[in-house]
Structure 1
Amino acid sequence: MNKQKSNQRYFTVWRWHFYAGIFVVPFLMILAFTALGMLVMSNTLGRDNDRLSIVIPESAMQAPISTQAKNALNTLPDSTLVKYIAPRDTDKVALFQVTSEDHDNMVAVNPYTADIVNSIPSNSNLYYTFDSIHGDLLLGKVGDYIQEMTTSLTILMILTGWYLWWHKRKSVKAMLIPDDTTLKKKRSFFRTIHATLGSWISVLLLFFCISGMAWAGIWGERIVQSWSQFPAGKWGVAPMPVSIDHSQHHAGMNMDNADAAPHVHGAPAAIAPTHGSVLNAGKTKDVPWVLELTPMPVSGTTMGKNGIAPNIPIMIDTVDRFARELGFVGRYQLNLPQGNTGVWTISQDSMSYDTKSPTADRTVHIDRYSGKVLADIRFDDYNAFGKFMAAGAAIHMGTLGWWSVLANALFCLSVIAICVSGYVMWWQRRPRSASDMIGLNPPARSQSVTIGWTLAIPLLIVAILFPTAIIAIVIIALLDFLLISRVKFLHRLLK
């Protein structure tokens, strides 16, 4: 390959890197800043104020959970208990999600005195504000697609950045360790910071892009998540429900249980709601990724085994005691049955900030009538991509301990530094003549750039793997063909 072709390829790649950056960098900085905000909030007050501290009395005896729940319910007239979250530690509050016709509150309760410590609307504190901006820019589906497009183009930007820096340095060592000569000139200094720091964090950024996109609406939900969901057939989600002998039901049904199971004969069960639709609170992702689209098991069948003893009434206190017997320690979540076929769900996972290790993920479903365990799902039961996402979410969210919180904070700051240095490099490279000060002044402005096979192939691969990248590329191409190349002002501004 001659030098002219090599330079032309370099300028073409640089041009794509530049235009991808123009779109990506503002959103990438938003992602980094909001991620820092979530890190701070989740490790200070807690996502749901679950890190609020209380004074441990001398007796250190906790009030019955049913008493705590009753006091939580009294904070809202005509309310229903949806979820109980056990205290994170002995000096932390218990949480109860209670709903009424017009309100959905998260109530913090002193587990020893059952006194109300705090009550706020669910998903309303600063953590959820950062989370909503991080996920969809407060724009719903449109914002979700924009963020997914941002991530797709970030992957393209990483690949082109690797090529540009390799073209200059010619070795991995030189890409990762800057030499003194490149740091003496101002522009070389920022270019070295931009490229060297980018080389160091690029693999992690690529990992964050893929793990983050798995939550997105197109690539995640419609392509990857749909074929990675946990198989629900093992617990018979859609069986032919059978008649239940009410005489075998547990006694003691109260606000935490229905009065009786319905008789259902012969007709197939309705399509069961999914884990995500039942257990996720609003936009919050409480359910492990691999289970989110999996149908819930149903109460009132002959399924299940090894559950709560038949002579013990099924109520929130006994289900909590059974959870402890199963091995749940510290903070865990207990979702109460919703509807006649709803189930008790005991869960503990790192994505909900319950535990540090994703390998400790566990979800247990209990029949509300028989007390039998319908499903006991652990990390080892996930498929390969489900395990990747469980581990990926823990790394992505910094839930592996203080070292991962600090590592994530450093990563976010590095991303911001790369974005800022990119803008500084662009500003320093701008021509000084007044006539050329207008416009973006992209690389190789006066040169004709073409897409050869060596660039087209990776571009095509990224576009095929990530559909929103196709959308972005098509939009850019159409704008270029229909507007930019035809309108003199836009041509001068962007070209």
Structure 2
Amino acid sequence: MVALDQNAGQSGAGSSQDDTASFAKFYRAAWRWHFYAGFYVIPFFIMLATTGMMMMWIAFIDGRDGERTAVVPQDAPIALSLQAKTALAQYPQGTLEAYTAPRAPDLAALFRVDTTDGAMMVVLDPYTGEVIESFARRSGLYDLMDNTHGTILLGVTGDRMIEIAASLGLILIATGVFMWWPRNTSTGSVLKPNLAARGRSLWKNLHSVVGFWSAAMLLVFLISGLSWAGVWGEKIVQAWSSFPAEKWGAPLSDVTHGSMNNGPKEVPWILEQTPMPASGSLAGREGLKDGVPVTLDSIDALARVIGFDARYQLNFPKGDTGVWTMSRDSMNTDSANPMSDRTVHVDRYSGKILADVKYEDYSLMGKAMAVGIAFHMGTVGLPIVLLNTVFCLSILFLCISGVVMWLKRRPAGQKGLVPPPAPRDMPVWKGAVVLALLLCLAFPMAGVAVIFALAVDLLFVLRRPRTRA
């Protein structure tokens, strides 16, 4: 998103010549940083906007992992234990890990079976027990887009590269708004496109208008995305915002809720780093009635009694201290309402409820992330899918228009970046310096990128006579 090189010398009526000169220097400094941030960010934002749109529409139209497979409803489904036995028969050497209840009576049930070849999905008719299909979990187009969106298929390295891009996106917003902000004209004149302009002026005008109207949503998307990232999210914000498991009063295991993830993020953000409760104690409140054996069928019946109707996830116990985990959240498309998020853990031996976490139990940050992630992923209904689509198209336009403006500004026959000229005798803008330091401290990967850009600027760009001129 290359910056607009509007007339940097303009200022409000009555401003002194010194003020005008100082503003011009500040403007050029902001423009230069906008340029460098945009140069790195553009390919990542194009990828994120494209894969994000595809994921939203695939999930909305077709769902994931066979969840929209149709069946013919009958009087009642067969026992869940029989369904599970049939599913496991597809992979006899595997281990049943999870069950996803149908969203509606005319949809199939889903079972996840872990094998030596990875996690497999079995799609089954809950009325007849017939296996409709089976396949490797997270192996469809949605999942390819999801993995590309999160790591560009490069694992941790890709995650860090995208985190840098998202962090620099905050700098793009700050510098873009500073350059756009009207100083010698009415605000209304820069809130709508000037279609009478031509050439590069038209591109600049469209870039600034679209950028302004997209800025608030971009900020929401960047913060919600960064909260999942490996450094700012996992090491800083998420670690300090995790749900306090001690309040359950049950013994804690040595594994976290993140152990239930299988590839992509599937556990609510606030719980991912929270330890799981452990089975095998006297802790917990009444779940199953005394004398009722703890089986898959009785656990499913308990889930229905305590409010898990329609689609919900049931993770099976792992190990001697493992627990049954019932959950519903909008991130997994179980519900279109993020405020209905709920996770319940049940002791595998006694059938007692060890923990029951609802949306209202989340901290303020946890609530913000539950809603923010649902909004980010477009899992809360068609209106948000459409809104997010318009937003993604706006980001693509900003990237393309930024490149066009750069090409139109670059002198004919000159190669290389050709960044905006650095201001001479730059005065110290204390507020901007403090803001930049706080931004780099709060978002470490942005700090790394800024230091790298400064080094390149000083060592390679500004030392070249032609570039300096």
Cα distance 1:9–1:210, how it changes in 2: closer, same or farther (>3 A)?
A: same
Q: Does 1:107 align with 2:88?
A: no
Report the Cα distance in structure 1 between the residues aligned to 2:121 and 2:274, rounded to whole angstroms.
26
1:451 CA drift (Å): 6.8
Q: Does 1:276 align with 2:253?
A: no
1:60 CA drift (Å): 3.5
Q: Does 1:471 align with 2:448?
A: yes
Report the Cα distance in structure 1 between the residues aligned to 2:67 and 2:184, rounded to whole angstroms.
50
Partner-residue secondary structure (3-state), 1:329: coil
Cα distance 1:44–1:492, how it changes in 2: closer, same or farther (>3 A)?
A: farther
Q: What's the CA shift string for 1:98-122, capped at 9, x where partnerless?
A: 0123332011111121111221112
1:13 CA drift (Å): 0.9
Report the Cα distance in structure 2 between the residues aligned to 1:189 and 1:55, rounded to whole angstroms.
57
Q: What's the CA shift string for 1:258-290, capped at 9, x where partnerless?
A: xxxxxxxxxxxxx5200112x1112x2111111
Partner-residue secondary structure (3-state), 2:254: coil
Which of 204, 219, 222 does residue 191 from structure 1 map onto? 204
Cα distance 1:130–1:168, how it changes in 2: closer, same or farther (>3 A)?
A: farther
Cα distance 1:484–1:426, how it changes in 2: closer, same or farther (>3 A)?
A: closer
Partner-residue secondary structure (3-state), 1:273: strand
Query: Match of 1:77?
Result: 92
Query: Match of 2:138?
Result: 123
1:452 CA drift (Å): 3.2
One-letter amino acid matched to 2:341: D
Range with bigger deviation, 338-347 or 452-461: 452-461
Query: Match of 1:50?
Result: 67
Q: What's the CA shift string for 1:332-386, capped at 9, x where partnerless?
A: 0000111111000000001111001111000011001110111111000001100
Q: Does 1:364 align with 2:344?
A: yes
Q: Does 1:414 align with 2:394?
A: yes
Query: Match of 2:3?
Result: none
Cα distance 1:470–1:99, how it changes in 2: closer, same or farther (>3 A)?
A: same
Query: Match of 2:47?
Result: 30
Report the Cα distance in structure 2 between the residues aligned to 1:123 and 1:103, rounded to whole angstroms.
10
Report the Cα distance in structure 1 between the residues aligned to 2:177 and 2:207, rounded to whole angstroms.
12
Paired residues of 1:95 and 1:107 also in contact (CA < 8 A): yes
Report the Cα distance in structure 2 between the residues aligned to 1:316 and 1:198, rounded to whole angstroms.
53
Q: Does 1:444 align with 2:421?
A: yes
Cα distance 1:428–1:449, how it changes in 2: closer, same or farther (>3 A)?
A: farther
Report the Cα distance in structure 1 between the residues aligned to 2:37 and 2:226, rounded to whole angstroms.
17
Cα distance 1:73–1:472, how it changes in 2: closer, same or farther (>3 A)?
A: same
Report the Cα distance in structure 1 between the residues aligned to 2:466 and 2:318, rounded to whole angstroms.
61
1:199 CA drift (Å): 0.5
Cα distance 1:336–1:274, how it changes in 2: closer, same or farther (>3 A)?
A: same
Cα distance 1:427–1:484, how it changes in 2: closer, same or farther (>3 A)?
A: closer
1:456 CA drift (Å): 2.3
Query: Match of 1:13?
Result: 30
Correspondence list, 1:151-300, <5 A:
151-167=166-182, 171-179=186-194, 183-238=196-251, 272-277=254-259, 279-282=260-263, 284-300=264-280
One-letter amino acid matched to 1:315: T
Q: What's the CA shift string for 1:79-138, capped at 9, x where partnerless?
A: 211000001212211110001233320111111211112211122111111111111111
1:73 CA drift (Å): 0.6
Q: What's the CA shift string for 1:142-166, capped at 9, x where partnerless?
A: 1111111101100000110001111
Query: Match of 2:294?
Result: 314
- The percentage of counterpart residues that share the same residue type is 44
Partner-residue secondary structure (3-state), 1:441: coil
Report the Cα distance in structure 1 between the residues aligned to 2:287 and 2:93, rounded to whole angstroms.
31
Query: Match of 1:355?
Result: 335
Query: Match of 1:136?
Result: 151
Structure 2 unaligned residues grouped into runs of 5+: 1-17
Report the Cα distance in structure 2 between the residues aligned to 1:350 and 1:103, rounded to whole angstroms.
25
Paired residues of 2:250 and 2:283 also in contact (CA < 8 A): no
Report the Cα distance in structure 1 between the residues aligned to 2:145 and 2:347, rounded to whole angstroms.
37
Partner-residue secondary structure (3-state), 1:2: helix
Report the Cα distance in structure 1 between the residues aligned to 2:193 and 2:62, rounded to whole angstroms.
41
Query: Match of 2:79?
Result: 64
Report the Cα distance in structure 1 between the residues aligned to 2:162 and 2:450, rounded to whole angstroms.
15
1:47 CA drift (Å): 2.2
Report the Cα distance in structure 1 between the residues aligned to 2:397 and 2:88, rounded to whole angstroms.
48
1:485 CA drift (Å): 4.4
Range with bigger deviation, 300-309 or 114-123: 114-123
Q: Does 1:2 align with 2:15?
A: no
Report the Cα distance in structure 2 between the residues aligned to 1:320 and 1:35, rounded to whole angstroms.
34
Partner-residue secondary structure (3-state), 2:225: helix
Partner-residue secondary structure (3-state), 1:272: strand
Report the Cα distance in structure 1 between the residues aligned to 2:62 and 2:420, rounded to whole angstroms.
47
1:168 CA drift (Å): 6.0
Paired residues of 1:439 and 1:492 also in contact (CA < 8 A): no
Partner-residue secondary structure (3-state), 1:48: coil
Q: TM-score, normalised by structure 2?
A: 0.92
Report the Cα distance in structure 2 between the residues aligned to 1:304 and 1:172, rounded to whole angstroms.
60
Report the Cα distance in structure 1 between the residues aligned to 2:468 and 2:159, rounded to whole angstroms.
27
1:140 CA drift (Å): 1.1
Paired residues of 1:175 and 1:199 also in contact (CA < 8 A): no
Report the Cα distance in structure 2 between the residues aligned to 1:383 and 1:292, rounded to whole angstroms.
14
Correspondence list, 1:338-353, <5 A:
338-353=318-333
Report the Cα distance in structure 1 between the residues aligned to 2:186 and 2:306, rounded to whole angstroms.
54
Cα distance 1:214–1:449, how it changes in 2: closer, same or farther (>3 A)?
A: farther
Paired residues of 2:327 and 2:343 also in contact (CA < 8 A): yes
